[in-house]
Amino acid sequence: MLFVELALIRWITANNVYVTEATNFVLLASFLGIGIGFLNASSGRDYLRWTPLALLALVAFVLEFPVILHSGTGGPLIFSGVGQSRALPQPVSFALVFLLTVAVMAGIGQGVARIFVRFRPLSAYRYDILGSIAGIVLFSLLSFLDQPPVTWGIIACGGLLIVLAPRVRMWQVVLLGAVVLLLTWQSVTPQQMWSPYNKLTLHKRHGNSVLFISANNIPYQGIHPLSAIRKNKQFYLLPYQHVPRASLGNVLIIGAGNGNDVAVALSEGARHVDAVEIDPLLVQIGRQYHPAHPYQSPRVTVHIGDGRQYIQDTHQHYNLILYALPDSLTALTGQGGIRLESYLLTSEALAAAKAHLAPGGTFAMYNYYAPFVLNRYATTIQDAFGRDPCAQLGGFLQGRRMAVLTVHPAGPVPNCTTFWHGTRVAPATDNRPFPYLASASIPAPYLWLLGAILLASLLLVRVAGGPLTRMRSYLDLAFMGAAFLLLETKSIVQFALLFGTTWFVNALVFAGVLVAVYLAVETARWVRLPPSPVLYGALLCALAVAWIVPQSALLGLPVVPRFLAASALAFAPVYLANLVFAQRFAGVETAATAFAANLLGAMVGGALEYLALITGYKFLLIVVAVLYGLAFITGRRRGTAQQPAAP
């Protein structure tokens, strides 16, 4: 069940640009579907039987009606489908993806729930967590091996056949075979590859020597010969106007991509280049196709990883540090607000970069920026380096303007004619790492989307799951589900800051959370737990400690002590929260309905996650504490209401 959820999040996002900015859209649909499946564990409605049809419909729809973004020099964004056809309107695309995802996960959820109810509640939950750990380990292994969707599809369809056994029908086998065939057709598409982060597509325009790279149906990068760069892409060269050639002893390039920036640095006389790139497949493409062969140079050392993590952990100092077009287009799995590069562009990150400049060193960054983003980064440089950056502006692309920002901490930038004196915009911070969000608010499209999801969820739960009053006695479990989703989110983003926003760190945190949950369940099985007020009190104390300890204190630690401290702060509340859950869940009367209430509560937690866009992620700990407080109050009221009347 978890494997399919992760695969759908990854695969749908790679094919539908609309979903790129709201990846937890698929997460919420999955929670809703699983919840509906659990509510129908013992009902006469057989959702599991029709899951192959729902899965085929979802895969066929996403492939037949993809959403592709086309670049241009101006005007509105152009979204297309297959060929030159216009993409479906965004509300229609969102609605159909949402409903089909709910249908798929409702069937799988019902299959799990039918097995779930055969066990005592805590034993069922224990097996569920072990299965979830297996799911995340398997999906992580496939990510490491750069496996395409057909591999995910074979595993998902094979697992579904096992769940359907022994009453599997031939038409179900045929439908699942069609799913595998469709995913095979996509996976063998020429010049298309799947990295742990992106679907990368290579293509050449007619009569053009440049090899273009699209990521998840969005124009991303082009591999340019040095002659074309000097003629048409001069922003690559502008930072070197302010750095004497003789001083280019050690250069750091963050976001090295396919190698354009590295090739330029070598051509400008850099004696050594540390090239940092988060996506290993981009480096592989650069090795194979870049005409200058920058990654084959003995003067270049390639580092596959997160740029912020590299800067935080390296002991090297550099004459020139370049942030080279760092724009991943990719969000952390299941998280709506964090992109892979978000922590690279905060005020704390630029302060760390400054600390790694050699005496007389220079810092530069360039990209196509929206006006407020340009002002935000210029403000961040001004605050971190104490000087106005040199601002060299170029042409426009889709409302964004090319700009090169350069700063020289030892004095004014040499050979600069235009310094930035624009409007100050508050920098992004490690607590609110949202550089592309104009103000501390939840954008209206998100509010409309979340509102529509919650309203549709109430309707679908009532229609497909029966009366909502069935879950009334499990309201405290719903509050726990909402709180735990936020607790998991806080753990993911904290580890992303401390150890990098890589797929590997993300997978480790997911697995770590599940292991902490499993240990809590085992503790509840073998140890007599103290009364619930004691457990709730311990949980609130753990949350208070996590609130008090600043993240900056952990960033300054060596890697091993940092990992131990971060694990204690993140997983102690997770462990205690699941002791609370396990104690409560062990005594439920209807395990499937109780678990459904918990999952549907997690949906609400997924919506509350967007509060971080306003408050920052640290404030989520307050929301978690409030939700667990509500769980305690409603749980006590339920216990009081169920006590027999005094004789």
Q: What digits encode the pLDDT tens for the residues 328-341?
A: 666 554 455 667 78
Do residues 432 and 348 make contact, with C-beta atoms less than 8 angstroms apart? no
- Name the percent of the chain lying above pLDDT 70: 95
DSSP 389: P
Is the bond into 414 cis (omega within 30 degrees of 0)? Answer: no
User: Which residues on neighbouring strands pair with residue 211, listed in sequence order?
Assistant: 204, 223
Fold of 226-327+347-407: Rossmann fold (3.40.50)
Query: Taking the model in full, what pTM does it have?
Result: 0.88
DSSP 44: S
Do residues 325 and 283 make contact, with C-beta atoms less than 8 angstroms apart? no
Which tokens belong to 346? 């905060």
Q: Which residue has the tokens 């400690």?
A: 545
Q: Is 415 left (phi over 0), alpha (psi -120 to 50) or beta?
A: left
Average pLDDT over residues 511-533: 91
Average pLDDT over residues 544-550: 93
CB hemisphere CA count around 407 (13 angstroms) = 23
Q: What is 454-640's CATH number?
A: 1.20.1250
Range list for CATH 3.40.50.150 in the chain: 226-327+347-407
| 302 phi and psi angles, rounded to 5 deg | -95, 135
Spatial distance between the Cα atoms of 19 and 491, rounded to a whole number of angstroms: 23
Q: Which residue has the tokens 């496996």?
A: 147
Model confidence at 359, pLDDT cuts 50, 70, 90, reads very high
Model confidence at 370, pLDDT cuts 50, 70, 90, reads confident
Question: What is the per-residue pLDDT for 358?
Answer: 93
Confidence check: pLDDT of 206 > 60 = no
Model confidence at 500, pLDDT cuts 50, 70, 90, reads confident
Three state DSSP letters for 275-313 = EEECCHHHHHHHHHHCCCCHHHCCCEEEEECCHHHHHHH
Q: Render 552-587 in DSSP notation, one character per residue.
A: HHHHTS-HHHHHHHHHHHHHHHHHHHHHHHHHHHTT
CA distances from 195 to 84, 281, 367, 392 (A): 27, 6, 23, 34
Which tokens belong to 298? 């003995």
Q: Render 339-370 in DSSP notation, one character per residue.
A: BTTGGGGSHHHHHHHHHTEEEEEEEEEEEEE-
Amino acid identity, position 13: T
Q: Are strands 68-70 and 78-80 parallel, antiparallel or unpaired?
A: antiparallel
Spatial distance between the Cα atoms of 554 and 563, rounded to a whole number of angstroms: 9
Question: What is the per-residue pLDDT for 337?
Answer: 61
Amino acid identity, position 357: L
Question: What is the per-residue pLDDT for 629?
Answer: 95
CA distances from 339 to 129, 306, 332 (A): 28, 12, 6
Of 331, 606, 383, 586, the closest CA to residue 488 belongs to 606
Question: What is the per-residue pLDDT for 37?
Answer: 92
Residues 136, 138, 144, 150, Cα dihedral to 10°: -110
Residues 303, 305, 306, 308, Cα dihedral to 10°: -40
DSSP 85: P
Question: CA geometry: angle at 513 spanning 507 and 489, to 5°?
Answer: 80
Burial 35-69 (b: 16+ CB within 10 A, else e): bbbbbbbeeeeebbbbbbbbbbbbbebbeebbbbb
Query: Mean pLDDT in the chain?
Result: 89
Q: Which residue has the tokens 């196709």?
A: 289
| 213 phi and psi angles, rounded to 5 deg | -125, 125
Question: What is the per-residue pLDDT for 330?
Answer: 61
Most confident of 209-218, 301-310, 550-559: 301-310
DSSP 646: P
Model confidence at 83, pLDDT cuts 50, 70, 90, reads confident
Confidence check: pLDDT of 21 > 80 = no
Question: What is the per-residue pLDDT for 254?
Answer: 94
Q: pLDDT tens-digit profile of 437-485?
A: 888 888 888 888 888 888 988 888 888 877 777 788 899 999 999 999 9
Do residues 590 and 477 make contact, with C-beta atoms less than 8 angstroms apart? no
Model confidence at 301, pLDDT cuts 50, 70, 90, reads very high
Interhelix angle 51-64/170-187, nearest 10 degrees: 20
Neighbours of 85 (CB within 10 A): 9
Do residues 92 and 20 make contact, with C-beta atoms less than 8 angstroms apart? no
Do residues 354 and 365 make contact, with C-beta atoms less than 8 angstroms apart? no
Question: What is the per-residue pLDDT for 207?
Answer: 62
CA distances from 416 to 232, 394, 419 (A): 21, 15, 7
Confidence check: pLDDT of 72 > 60 = no
Spatial distance between the Cα atoms of 634 and 640, rounded to a whole number of angstroms: 10
Model confidence at 181, pLDDT cuts 50, 70, 90, reads very high
Spatial distance between the Cα atoms of 126 and 351, rounded to a whole number of angstroms: 45
Of 162, 235, 226, 180, the closest CA to residue 59 belongs to 180
Amino acid identity, position 273: V
Strand boundaries in 128-197, DSSP class E? 192-194
Confidence check: pLDDT of 643 > 50 = no
Q: Render 412-432 in DSSP notation, one character per residue.
A: SPTT---B------PPP-SSS
Spatial distance between the Cα atoms of 637 and 621, rounded to a whole number of angstroms: 24
Q: Is the dihedral of CA 138, 143, 147, 150 positive or negative?
A: positive
Spatial distance between the Cα atoms of 224 and 229, rounded to a whole number of angstroms: 6
Range list for CATH 1.20.1250 in the chain: 454-640
